[in-house]
Amino acid sequence: MNDELLARVGAWMAMDPDDVDRATIEKLIEEGDEAKIRHCFDPPLTFGTAGLRGPEMAGPAGMNRCTVRRATQGVVAWLGELGIDPARGVVVGRDARHGSETFNDEVVAVLLGAGVRVYEMPRPLPTPMTAYALQVLGAAAGIMITASHNPPADNGYKLYGPDGSQIIAPNDAIVERYANGAGAAQLATRTSVLHHVVDEGILESYREHMVTRFGVATSDLILAYTPLHGVGGEFMAELFTRAGFTHVALVEEQFRPNPEFPGLPFPNPEEAGVLDAGIARANASGATLLIANDPDADRLGAAVQRPQGSWRLLRGDEIGWLLGSVAVAHARDDDVVATTIVSSSMLEKMAARAGVHYATTLTGFKWITKAAPGRRLAFGYEEALGFAVDPCVADKDGISAALALSRLAHDLALRGLTLLDRLDELEARYGVHAGAQLSLRVAPPRGRDVLSAVMARVRAAPPTSLGGVNVSEVIDLEAGWNGLAPTEGLIWRLGATGRVVVRPSGTEPKLKAYIEVVGQPSPEDVGAERERAAATLTVIRDELSQILALDS
């Protein structure tokens, strides 16, 4: 083992407050297991798309008490550099994952020890509640301990700035610089006069606002709901009842928080099979709509029963069209609707026809919530099941989105229609917009290197055609595009047929390709247009799979 690595290990262990983590590393040193030591140290976690996120393990490559302490010291120093008064306070929240309570305690102790006012959430709650409380309190920042929909072994650290939204560059780099240079942390206990628990009245104000906006007097709609073993269950169930949706069948085996997420290796509504238990419950209860939140309830998944009894899982884009159709119909003069470069192009067409301001952003809600400077973001979404239906939360919010979708389903049912009927109507008017993803996972520790190599290869030699359709334009997002900040990614336009976006994930070791094939508006035969678009989509996806083959 070389001296440089030993020096790094020694410096880390000198700061690490966790006896078990130190013992783990000491044992690896005694055994001379350099590979496992490097796994714990290289590469260290960095602030990515949603802050820190990674496996719970010892060393700077994992989520642990030392990582959380250093990150929090970085936040304090960052606020100081920005000149933000720490007396405004920091809101601290957590989900119910393994380690979340411990990491939450570390954040609170470090902030109090640094003389920062703390507003601690009263219990594990959905991520949107931290973002909401931050805005209500006018706090300086918000920290949420969560890994959202990642596997059970992961945890994370999400950071919101004083505007209530996720931080962006250069703030992420500033926090990271200070975190990397952090020394021993000064700690304080909750007996400090600076410690406050977020009042239940703030949570109640959220409920009242959303019930007022999306509630009905009473609804005959039968729903099924699952929080996927996360923290959304009790909060969402109460909201449904208060909003007039009293026929809600809960997926009982997934209702209580369980950090093991039994039966769900990836507790993400997008993943195949994740909603099977919810569909079974829906069938047993006579429900026609299934609503699902991910474990921290910032995302919304849904499935709708077809007339013949089978179920159709809605893509994120389809939910975006449904919610977006309501938003553009009720938009004010200065309202903005927004989505990302990897999401469907239909929202832009809907906004243009309605005369509503529209913005395209980079991937991630940290960009969507900043898409309307000086104006109100009436609606924003990303295809990965993230939706912002009300500006009182400057982030994606699966709780309010669930109410909004249920309200739309209720309103349509009063006219004898379903969400699927509304999708038919939208695609007949704006054209079929078929979409698919190709997601290629790379195993650590070489994950990022492999992804970089593949991106370099396809950047140097992009395809000239895909699925028999000529590539009409190649856009390298690293150079910036249409006023967007430079980012790693490529867009291959296919003329009027659609486009492909290729980019590495910001939160996981994955290479992702987002495909959209656009058909012509066809009120007479939407089904035939869907079949044609699906056939083209399949061919393009198969070709991409070969072009993007990972050399791992």
pLDDT of residue 552: 41
pLDDT of residue 549: 81
**For residue range 55-98, what is the model confidence (pLDDT) as tens digits?**
999 999 999 999 999 999 999 999 999 999 989 999 999 999 99
- Has residue 492 got a pLDDT over 90? yes
pLDDT confidence tier of residue 520, bands split at 50, 70 and 90: confident
The answer to whether residue 192 is catalytic is no
Q: Domain 3-198 falls in which CATH fold?
A: Alpha-D-Glucose-1,6-Bisphosphate; Chain A, domain 3 (3.40.120)
What homologous superfamily does CATH list for 224-312? Alpha-D-Glucose-1,6-Bisphosphate, subunit A, domain 3 (3.40.120.10)
Q: Which segment of 102-111, 230-239, 444-453, 476-485 scores lowest on mean pLDDT?
A: 444-453
DSSP 339-392: EETTS-SHHHHHHHHHT-EEEEE-SSHHHHTTS-TTSEEEEEEETTTEEE-STT
Q: Which of 317, 382, 232 is nearest to 302 (CA)?
A: 317
pLDDT of residue 94: 98
Contact (CB, 8 A) for 439 and 549: no
**For residue range 400-414, what is the model confidence (pLDDT) as tens digits?**
999 999 999 999 999
pLDDT of residue 449: 77
pLDDT of residue 505: 78
CA-to-CA distance for 110 and 298, rounded, in angstroms?
26
E strands, 140-217, are 141-145, 154-160, 195-197
CA-to-CA distance for 199 and 392, rounded, in angstroms?
17
Q: What is the DSSP letter of 154?
A: E
Q: In whole numbers, what is the pLDDT of the chain averaged over residues? A: 95
E strands, 404-539, are 433-441, 465-466, 469-470, 473-476, 490-493, 498-504, 510-518
Structure tokens at 96: 């119910």
Pick one of 3.30.70.580, 3.30.70.600, 3.30.310.50, 3.40.50.2020 as the CATH number of 431-547: 3.30.310.50
Which residues make up the CATH 3.30.310.50 domain(s) of the chain? 431-547
**CATH code, 316-429:** 3.40.120.10
**For residue range 126-140, what is the model confidence (pLDDT) as tens digits?**
999 999 999 999 999
**For residue range 230-252, what is the model confidence (pLDDT) as tens digits?**
999 999 999 999 999 999 999 99
**For residue range 410-466, what is the model confidence (pLDDT) as tens digits?**
999 999 999 999 999 999 999 999 999 998 877 766 667 788 888 999 999 999 999
What average pLDDT does this structure show over 469-485? 94
- Has residue 49 got a pLDDT over 70? no
pTM of the predicted protein model? 0.95
What average pLDDT does this structure show over 118-133? 98
Q: What is the DSSP letter of 97?
A: S
Contact (CB, 8 A) for 110 and 187: yes
Contact (CB, 8 A) for 105 and 118: no
Q: Which helix (H) or strand (E) is 54 found in, with range?
A: strand 52-55
pLDDT of residue 215: 98
What is the SS3 assignment for 509?
A: coil
Contact (CB, 8 A) for 339 and 350: no
pLDDT of residue 48: 73
pLDDT of residue 77: 97
Name the catalytic one among 100, 148, 345, 400.
Answer: 148
Structure tokens at 396: 């994606």
What average pLDDT does this structure show over 350-360? 97
Which residues make up the CATH 3.40.120.10 domain(s) of the chain? 3-198, 224-312, 316-429
